[in-house]
Structure 1
């Protein structure tokens, strides 16, 4: 994978559907990389939104 990957959705607001999907997948135990791919958002964006919503994200080991 390229490390300089550009995310087209950078700084775009989260939709209600995206937030619901994040909550659903996070509660199922999906890891951060999977969430980022499923939601086409950066890992940092996922981390920030999850923290704001009080969600726990599964850790990769």
Structure 2
């Protein structure tokens, strides 16, 4: 069963973007980053792509 995210299509806040960059640099997996930021994996993946970040594809 997929988790339901209450924050559907919310704009990214600067502190969330900073946290995303931090976690991506540490080599954290996409699923883990999504959970920490309480965002969908797709949302995290899209934002990382926009910012030119590479995220580990481990689950």
Report the TM-score when normalising by structure 2: 0.94
| Distance (whole Å) between structure 1 residues aligned to residue 28 and residue 58 of structure 2 | 10
1:2-41 equivalences under 5 Å are 2-3=1-2, 5-41=3-39
Superposition RMSD in Å: 1.1
Structure 1 counterpart of 2:46: 48
Under a length normalisation based on structure 1, what TM-score does the superposition of the two structures give? Answer: 0.91
Deviation at 1:6, TM superposition (A): 1.4
Counterpart secondary structure, 1:29: coil
Structure 1 unaligned regions, length at least 5: none
What is the CA-CA distance between 1:7 and the residue it aligns to?
Answer: 0.5
Equivalent residue pairs, number = 59
Task: Write the deviation string for residues 6-58 of structure 1: whole angstroms up to 9, x where unpaired.
Answer: 11111000000000000000000000000000000000000000000000001
